Structure 1
Amino acid sequence: MARVTIMIPTQRRPDGLAVAARSVFGQAGVDPSTLELVIVDNDQVPSAQSVANDLAKTAPFPVLYVHEPRPGVAFARNAGMAKASGDLIAFLDDDEEAPAGWLAGLLAARERFDADVVFGPVKTRAPAHVVEHRDYLERFFSREGPSEAVVLDRHYGCGNSLLRRAALPDPVAPFSQERNHIGGEDDMLFGHMGAAGARFAWEPAAWVWEEPVLSRLNLRYTIARAFAYGQGPSSHCAAAIPRDYVGVARWMVIGLGQAAVFGAVAGFKWLTRAHDRADWLDRAARGLGKTLWFGPFKIQFYGRTA
């Protein structure tokens, strides 16, 4: 039977980490003797160590603590991979909570489709006092997909996913360090895997709750993040070996058109106070990101531990 490592990278979110880890302890339909939990603390000081130690006392399987003081999401994920002993790696974020059937759902889909990576839905819960743009904000942080379990022709992000280690280009350090501060290290990895013929699958039953920190539940954060997401296709073409100059140019032109059209609609929606005005601003930002993807326009979301 394959051994499974559940990995939770964390940075200064002790309460969220505890919720995520305890939800992992309550997984049903999976033999606990095949499981381990790896907690990766990406803080300059080992701020999550005491939480990890407390969690280990009541855990039904081993809890391994890794301190990665170097700031960056890729550093954190790679440090966890180096510690993990699993043939399969399940990723859960420290602001997520997994229902009891989560892991069994991911594992069943992997077997059914012989998948290298399986993704599941993310359902966002915003606090009751978040009223303005609430629907948009919950959609932004959520992940939706097909209503049935299927093989995918695309990929999603690393949070709530199951990876087959043998399919990774580097089984110990698969995440690119150049994405440490801007994110998208998972998108780059899955993009390379897809180009090499990896099989992706989707399991709607393997969903998780997500409760974003309050500092992110605002347009200032989400529109900047949408801009960074938009940079993904152009950056991916630029990072290809050899560099895909035609792809970069194509995405930049597409992005310019999207920014112009969606930006105009967003301006009108804002003037009329339309309920969906944030959605159109988001689309415009993603388009602009495809065009302004280089150098000084890169936005740092990760890697701040000081």
Structure 2
Amino acid sequence: MASPRISLVIPTQRRPDGLSVAARSTFRQTGVAPGLLELVVVDNDQTPSAQATVEALAAEAPFPVTYVHEPNPGVANARNAALEQAKGEFIAFLDDDEEAPPGWLAALIAAQKRFEADVVFGPVRGRAPARVTRHRNYLERFFSREGPAKAEVLDHYYGCGDSLIRRAALPDPNRPFSAIRNYIGGEDDLLFAQMKDAGAVFAWEPAAWVWEDPVPARLSLRYTIPRAFAYGQGPSAACAAASPPDRLGVAFWMAQGLAQAGVFGALAGLKWLIRAPDFAFTLDRAARGLGKTLWWGPFKIHFYGLRAGA
């Protein structure tokens, strides 16, 4: 059998229901011959907890399914382990809390061909269950990814979930994700920044959208506001990690973040007092500003790679 042209990759960690939804959505893709595809699921649990689920899914899949167990915790470790086993010249990433409609992959492929892109990104539509009423609009927006209304070449990049990457454009075809971001995320930002510096072409395809169904524990401000703080740290941390370090960039983002935190922090306090419906949006902007200012060591927040019960 010829090697698959496209490897679908789903990293997972103790989410059997979400994994099943995500994997089955890849089985229903249209406009792409199954003979061109494979699915690689990488289980980032200390024990191989997803193995039975993946084996059951493989029995109903229209193309080969490979199970990879990566016990070393960390989102970069998981993605790298998948790429070491993936055989495709293109890698399509889907998260284990996402569900792709039938035309998703075909839309990514068409955009890649149209723009001769090294990476294609698509929209993510956050979907909260009906029982979530408090801050619902904010939470669905938080877990969404928006972009241009039409397909086009980008001068920036997005996250790895819902993306198609040309393997030959990666700086390392097997282990391109940096382990320094294993516990805080942003491993994709570091990779795409490196690819951008090397001249990679990024593209956007609005037709290549997916649903995102956050786990219940994440549907609260207790999760999203610290995460917004961590997102805010990204620009400052990226400037500091540049070679050589971009000290002017760090100073710029820290100053901007301080102003943002002050203005939106005060406004969020006022909106909290009057119970304004958009309070969460304002608090989010304040948290992102504070993250730009407090971005180094002791302020880093670990979201990934933790053992069960940690």
With the shorter chain as reference, the TM-score category is over 0.9
Stretches (4+) displaced over 2 A: none
Tell whether the 8 Å contact from 2:4 to 2:37 is kept in structure 1 after alignment. no
3-state DSSP class of the match of 1:58? Answer: coil
- The equivalent residue for 1:184 is 186
Matches within 5 A, 1:257-272: 257-272=259-274
Q: Which amino acid aligns with 2:118?
A: D
Per-residue CA deviations over 1:104-139 (Å, capped at 9, x if unaligned) read: 000000000000100001111101110010000000
2:170 to 160, 168, 177: 168
1:83 aligns with 2:85: yes
TM-superposed CA distance for 1:258, in Å, is: 0.6
Match of 1:48 in 2: 50
Alignment root-mean-square deviation, CA: 0.9
Report deviation, 1:197: 1.2
CA contact (8 A) 2:94 2:161 kept: yes
Q: For residue 287 of structure 2, what is the aligned residue in structure 1?
A: 285
Alpha-carbon contact 2:261-2:289 (below 8 Å) kept: yes
Is the 1:75–1:177 contact (alpha carbons within 8 Å) kept by the matching residues of 2?
yes
Structure 2 residue runs without a partner (length 5+): none
AA aligned opposite 1:12:
R
Structure 1 Cα separation of the partners of residues 288 and 127 of structure 2: 24
Read off the aligned partner of 1:243 and give its amino acid letter.
P
> Contact (CA 8 Å) 1:42, 1:305: kept in 2 or not?
no
Q: Which residue is equivalent to 1:218? A: 220
Q: 1:235 aligns with which of 225, 234, 237?
A: 237
Per the TM alignment, residue 194 of structure 1 is displaced from its structure 2 partner at its CA by 1.1
> Aligned with 1:242: secondary structure?
coil
Rounded to whole Å, the distance in 2 between the matches of 1:243 and 1:10 is 34
Residue 103 of structure 2 corresponds to residue 101 of structure 1: yes
**2 CA distance for matches of 1:191 and 1:255?**
21
Q: Does the Cα contact within 8 Å between 2:51 and 2:67 map onto a contact in 1?
A: yes
Aligned-residue identity in percent: 71
1:2 deviation in Å?
Answer: 7.3
Q: Which amino acid aligns with 1:284?
A: A
**SS across alignment from 2:59:** helix
Alignment equivalent of 1:206, drawn from 205, 208, 229: 208
- The aligned residue for residue 30 of structure 1 is 32
Q: Deviations over 1:73-104 (max 9, x none)?
A: 00000000100001000000000000000000
In structure 1, the partner of 2:120 is: 118
- 1:24: Cα distance to partner? 0.2
Deviation of 1:154 after TM superposition, in Å, equals: 1.0
Structure-1 residue corresponding to 2:155? 153
Counterpart of 2:38 in 1: which secondary structure? strand
From 10, 31, 38, give the equivalent of 2:12: 10
Unaligned runs of 5+ residues in structure 1 are: none
CA displacement, residues 246-296 of structure 1 (integer Å, 9 cap, x when unaligned): 111111111111101111111111111111110010000000000100011
CA positional deviation for 1:305: 2.4
Contact 1:182/1:298, CA 8 A, preserved across alignment: yes
Report the Cα distance in structure 1 between the residues aligned to 2:15 and 2:103, rounded to whole angstroms: 24
- Counterpart selection for 1:133 from 132, 135, 150: 135
Q: What TM-score results when the alignment is normalised by the length of structure 1? A: 0.99
How many residues are aligned here?
A: 306
Q: Which amino acid aligns with 2:5?
A: R
User: What is the match of residue 244 of structure 1?
Assistant: 246
- In structure 1, the residue corresponding to 2:259 is in which secondary structure? helix
